[in-house]
Structure 1
Amino acid sequence: MFTGIIESVGKIKTINAKSGDFEIVIDTADLDLSDVKLGDSIAVSGVCLTVTQIQPQAFCADVSAETIKRTKLSQLNVGSDVNLEKACTPNTRLGGHIVSGHVDGVGHVVNVYANANATDYWIEAPDSLAHYIAEKGSITVDGISLTVNEVQGAQFRLTIIPHTTEKTAIHDWQSGARVNLEVDVIARYLERLMQAHTAPKGGVTLELLKNSGMIK
């Protein structure tokens, strides 16, 4: 599990093709790897990857065919910047929101506008994800926990402050840029609960929510 608070901006050091998938080596810049062990998880621009080898200020990870299909990692090149976050520990501050590192789909930047000292980004999500995105809700974009400020159909607006721009790879978000999206995990489970074939008999009703203490 992650929180969407980026710890460092690394770079793709090498990409090695391996019969349908590939192995990447990531230069971790100033990310502290002293507490990282083989098998640990690190989010790379929002994608949870398993550390298979540790090098001085770098680590290796395998990228499966499923990850290639569902994320933008296959579009990255040697030298591309990536957002890095180590997995949570029990004493981690939850500064963002609950992030699984399982990318739901790839969106793209539609427009970029100045907004006082901040910058507004309009991003279009795949139609299949649009109904999960709510105004003032949370969304993970390239591994960054962000607040949705406005929604119009499948498009949503983010307002990024200078600090976030400086500490992440957001400088790569130009019009047309592809971005990894992970919707709020709570929204996904609520949808599953509301589906008739998995919900209690009669579905989820106001009476059921009241009896469960969810509402007064």
Structure 2
Amino acid sequence: MFTGIVQGTAEIVAIEEAEAFRTHVVVLSDELRQGLEPGASVSHNGVCLTVTAIEGQQVRFDLMRETLKVTNLGALGVGDRVNIERAARFGDEIGGHAMSGHVMAMAELVELDEAPNNRRLWFEVPHALGRFLFAKGYIGVDGISLTIGEVRAANVDNGPRFCVDLIPETLARTILVDRVPGDRVNIEVDPQTQAIVETVERVLAARGA
């Protein structure tokens, strides 16, 4: 489990390509490597990946076909950076919200509003995710636990959209500071919201509503 509180960013220093398979090698700081062992789970842009090897500061992770298809990790290259969060441990403070590290889809950054000391980003998501978006609800964006500011329903021209407001601390600690319109981010909807919405949908369907 993860909390969506990104602990830092890491640079990809090598990529090994194979058929429908990739290995990413990233450099992790001493703090992020403390107690890390092969088999541990680490979130990269909100994607739960398993440590396969540790060689000094360099840590290796394998990406399977589904990961490459559903997330933005397959589009990254050497020199790119990813948001990093170590798996939560029993007793850790939950500063964000519970996240599984299982990305559901990608969203496109369609609008960026700058203001003193903060930034508002608007994202467009696939239609299937629109029913999980609620103002003041939680959402995971590239592994960051964020609160939805507003929601715009889908129309004939656009899919469902939501915005988030970023404070300087979030911009300083994550790769969202570098996002520009047209970029695609990984999305994980709040698991509790998903469970509630899908349960209500099943109940209504059973009643013929």
Q: TM-score, normalised by structure 1?
A: 0.88
Per the alignment, residue 47 of structure 1 pairs with 47
In terms of Rg, which structure is larger? 1
Per the alignment, residue 166 of structure 1 pairs with 172
Q: Would the aligned equivalents of 2:20 and 2:65 in 1 still touch at CA under 8 Å?
A: yes
**Is it true that 1:69 corresponds to 2:75 in the alignment?**
no
After TM superposition, the structure 1 = structure 2 runs for residues 31-180 of structure 1, keeping only pairs within 5 Å, are 31-153=31-153, 154-180=160-186
Q: Would the aligned equivalents of 1:43 and 1:101 in 2 still touch at CA under 8 Å?
A: yes
2:186 match: secondary structure:
strand
Per the alignment, residue 212 of structure 1 pairs with none
Please tell me the residue identity of whatever aligns with 2:7: E
Where structure 1 has 5 or more consecutive residues not aligned to the other structure, the ranges are 204-216
**Is it true that 1:182 corresponds to 2:180 in the alignment?**
no
Q: Would the aligned equivalents of 2:131 and 2:197 in 1 still touch at CA under 8 Å?
A: no
Distance of aligned partners of 1:117 and 1:180 in 2 relative to their CA distance in 1, 3 Å threshold: same
Q: Would the aligned equivalents of 1:9 and 1:29 in 2 still touch at CA under 8 Å?
A: no
Query: Taking every aligned residue pair, what percent have the same amino acid on both sides?
Result: 35
- The alpha carbon displacement at 1:194 in A equals 2.8
Please tell me the residue identity of whatever aligns with 1:96: G
CA distance in 2, matches of 1:67, 1:48: 10
Q: Would the aligned equivalents of 2:32 and 2:86 in 1 still touch at CA under 8 Å?
A: no
Distance of aligned partners of 1:113 and 1:30 in 2 relative to their CA distance in 1, 3 Å threshold: farther
Please tell me the residue identity of whatever aligns with 1:164: T
Per the alignment, residue 191 of structure 1 pairs with 197
CA distance in 1, matches of 2:72, 2:168: 25
1:179 match: secondary structure:
strand
Q: How many residues align?
A: 201
1:62 match: secondary structure:
strand
Distance of aligned partners of 1:181 and 1:31 in 2 relative to their CA distance in 1, 3 Å threshold: farther
Where structure 2 has 5 or more consecutive residues not aligned to the other structure, the ranges are 154-159
Q: Would the aligned equivalents of 1:8 and 1:30 in 2 still touch at CA under 8 Å?
A: no
Q: Would the aligned equivalents of 1:8 and 1:31 in 2 still touch at CA under 8 Å?
A: no
Q: TM-score, normalised by structure 2?
A: 0.91
Cα deviation, 1:15-48, whole Å, max 9, x if unaligned, reads 1112211111111245421211111100001000
Please tell me the residue identity of whatever aligns with 2:196: L
- The alpha carbon displacement at 1:200 in A equals 11
RMSD of aligned residue pairs (Cα, Å): 1.7
CA distance in 2, matches of 1:201, 1:69: 31
CA distance in 2, matches of 1:170, 1:89: 26
- The alpha carbon displacement at 1:99 in A equals 0.7
1:148 match: secondary structure:
strand
- The alpha carbon displacement at 1:127 in A equals 1.1
Please tell me the residue identity of whatever aligns with 1:146: L
Please tell me the residue identity of whatever aligns with 2:193: A
CA distance in 2, matches of 1:13, 1:178: 21
1:90 match: secondary structure:
coil
